[in-house]
Chains A and B, each alone.
Chain A
Amino acid sequence: MPPETLFRRITDYASRADPYPLYAELREARVARQEDGSYLIGTFADVAALLHDPRISSDLHNRTDPRAGGLLPPPDDMPPSFIGVDDPEHDRLRRLAMRPFGPPHSPGRIDGLTGEVTRIARELAGSLDGRDRIDLVDDFAYPLPVGVICGLLGVPAEDVPQVHAWTESIIAGFDLTPGQDEEARTRAAREARRGMAAYLSGLAESRRGHPSGDLLSDLANDHGPDGSLTPGELMVTAVLLLIAGHETTVNLITNGMLTLLRHPDALALLRADPGLVPGAVEELLRYEPPVQLLPQRTPLTDVEVAGVTIPRGAPLILVLAAANRDPLRYENADRFDPLRRDIQHFGFGSGVHNCFGAPLARLETRVALTELLRALDAPALVEDPPPYRRSPVLRGPRHLLIEQATGGGA
């Protein structure tokens, strides 16, 4: 048997349900060099330092070998999105994308969605009523954020299934498990990305000069002091917002319910006092973050971490979920405590690439959990652990079957 490196064990599908013992091993090592030359980092202090270190690039072009670390090399036929470039380019793109999305130019946009998010969540929760078996992913956690992000961007409802299909293929491309169908997966992911990009840029083009109040339209028609996004930039930004705008939230909601079902006391507590939900969401972002690791960092120069020199151009993999449970940072780090007060997690990353959509993800998850707790009485897990999705990066259950104790009886 070939030597099993830590990263192989983490990405191995068998570890998906519980990677945390491997993360503990990683923290022990602090810096774990892998056979392919990549470096894993997992303590709170090291991850924090590297996320704020200006010598660490997010642009894969700075890798000595763009294929190392199991990532898709950046496609050459499309400009990179802002998560794949560094400042000042990153800052310019992100600022342009932020203008219609958040403060200071659009401070009320996300808050203004509260009613709509609640409406969709209630409708979905209502459809669960009286059913004794539910798949929380298909019946709730997936359609909610998809409905919200498509509504926000201005994607017509009838196109949502197509968006779903493209997203699945793109996410499969993030699957770092080396396997037989690697090539096919990569090709499919690229094609899906291209398909989605063409579709979204078509939508945006149709709105140029005809503002319709949605985000795509705002991005296409905005002419601020920093100029505008080029059609190519607009296209990849839209793809990024659409995918990142729901893939992570699905997992946050699902991991959230799974965690609560595993902690009946916490569930009862939140049910009794929904005012505690915002704090519990922060704890979930620490305890079961939907983005487990950042695989695409690269040092621009030799960087020393814990006495180990990480050479310039090497793949640097920051394991956020390991840092989130560092016992040197948190008391009872492996305990889920919805009342925890000192929570400074990497659920949304940190530093310049800190998650753009965090306010939206928080809003959706708060509303989702509140509505679910209200709608479900006596929910119970059908299988634990549930079947997981393949990706070790965007980690979450593929299905989460829940049974409701039928009222009136036993």
Chain B
Amino acid sequence: MPGTDRPGRIVVVGASLAGLRAAEALRDNGFTGELTLVGEEDRPPYDRPPLSKAVLLGRVRAADVTLPARRAVDARWRLGVRAEGVDLTHRTVLLAGGERLPYDRLLIATGTRARPWPHPGEAALHGVLALRTAADAALLSGLLDAGPRRVLVIGAGFTGSEIASACRGRGLDVTVVERGPAPLVGALGGTLGAFAAALQRAHGVDLRCGVTVTSLQGRDGRLVGAELSDGGRIEADVAVVCLGAVRNTEWLDGSGLAAGPRGLACDAGCRAFDMYGIVTDDVFVAGDVARFPHPLFEYQLLSLEHWGNAVAQAEVAAHNMISEGPRRRPHLAVPAFWSSQFGLNIKSVGVPTFSDRVVIAQGSPAERRLVAVYGYRGRVTAAVSVNRAKSLEYYERLIESAAPFPPDPATTDRTVAPTPVPSDVPDPRQLSHGPTVALTGHLPDRRGLALVRRES
């Protein structure tokens, strides 16, 4: 194995999927220096996707969900310890408790956490929880085992929909409340949203769209029900808050890195930007916490919450951390994710929200087998399959080659006339949210930036 360009000390903050895979890749690539992994959770890295699927169905215990260790990483593991800051000048990570960890290169892989229920008092009721960690999943499966009268799922994105599916799989009554017009609409747009709504209802989910939960009610510290914005009321003894994720960047406040609510921005080589947009050379970022420019999507800074992205980006970051300039690689993977719910396998390539139109290219919603292809300004930008993943490779190539949209209609199982319709996603230009900053100073050597406020 050839030696690396850069030995020394590497610290990885965030000991989950991206952190572990980066550590493995560092060793695979011949890094022989000192490696430290810092993780706030006290258990070794594990896999999250099964938490909302197999674990809730009772097929695997939350305690047994693991990530296969692909090789020994020979690292110092600092688990159960939170990192509280980075000092870029002195190249140290500050740990809770005051310890300072020096580094030559730092990888930030702190991921996201579940967005909490906004009212702390209500959030503290027994029966109210979110799902992000194995501990959450253990708690939720315990609550489901106890046979609640009804489960309330707040938010019908992927996690909420998977939880609803698991509840129905166990024969539990479940109400899903979604502010948008349909489940999954924020990620996949109107066409598949409508399909998902019909699917949930066909599986006996009490789905309420265009409605929000205005308050959660408790008795003796336990959840008993919820009030809805349409005046409705639901009795439930479990409520799962599925309002999306919050990027774990607060610990970087004041560090001078370009970190904000949308993540930590970096270049295509995973090198973090500082708040001026200048690329750092020793601080790298990977996984859910990263925002990176993707040429296929007009160099917009993408924040993804995809398992595959965490792995691919971690590998690129690791490679670049120990390689000098021209040997560094860009992270250009076409985004991809999967979900399984209500007996269906859903897979996506590209960025469905980066679209203005969509067409059902193969199959049909009625068959529950289809491929929806998304386009933006006349080129293919994404495809989502339902029980029809085998041809996604083909669409991935169309995305990579900026092929014209709509795609060739001659396919073996086109069962509905392919008419593109508006994709009904949020305006793609909103994918990228700049940091809210103000320029300060007037002379060139005094020019600077100040953070104005944090969105949340």
Contacts and interface: CB of A to CB of B under 8 A. Distances in A.
A301 B408 contact: yes
Interface string B337-370: 0000000000000000000000001110001010
A108 to B, nearest CB: 16
B412 A52 contact: no
B410 interface: yes
Interface in A4-29: none
Interface string B26-54: 00000000000000000000000000000
Contacts of B390: 52, 351-352, 354
B397 interface: yes
Contact of A54 (B362, B367, B369, B415): B362
A182 to B, nearest CB: 30
A86 B408 contact: no
Majority SS at the chain B contact face: mixed
A48 B412 contact: no
A87 interface: yes
A217 interface: no
Interface residues of B, number: 19
B393 interface: yes
B121 to A, nearest CB: 44
B410 A53 contact: no
A59 B371 CA distance: 21
Nearest to B393: A52
B413 A300 contact: no
B26 to A, nearest CB: 20
Contacts of B415: 88
B225 to A, nearest CB: 36
Contacts of B394: 49, 52-55
B66 interface: no
Contact of B369 (A52, A86, A91, A300): A91
| Interface bin, chain A | 20 to 34
A56 interface: yes
Nearest to A56: B412
Nearest to B361: A54
Contacts of A48: 393
Interface string A298-333: 001100000000001000000000000000000000
B229 interface: no
Nearest to B387: A91
B359 to A, nearest CB: 13
Contact of A300 (B362, B371, B411): B411
A399 B392 CA distance: 42
Contacts of B397: 49
Interface string A57-101: 111000000000000000000000000001110010000000000
Given A88-B367, A88-B369, A91-B369, A52 B391 contact: yes
A55 B369 contact: no
A52 B415 CA distance: 18
Interface of B: 361-363, 367, 369, 371, 388, 390-394, 397, 408, 410-413, 415
Interface of A: 48-49, 52-59, 86-88, 91, 300-301, 312, 351-352, 354
14 contacts: A49-B394, A52-B391, A52-B393, A52-B394, A53-B394, A54-B361, A55-B394, A55-B411, A87-B363, A87-B413, A88-B413, A351-B391, A352-B390, A354-B390
Given A87-B363, A87-B413, A351-B390, 10 more contacts: A49-B393, A52-B390, A55-B408, A55-B410, A56-B412, A58-B412, A86-B412, A91-B369, A91-B413, A351-B391
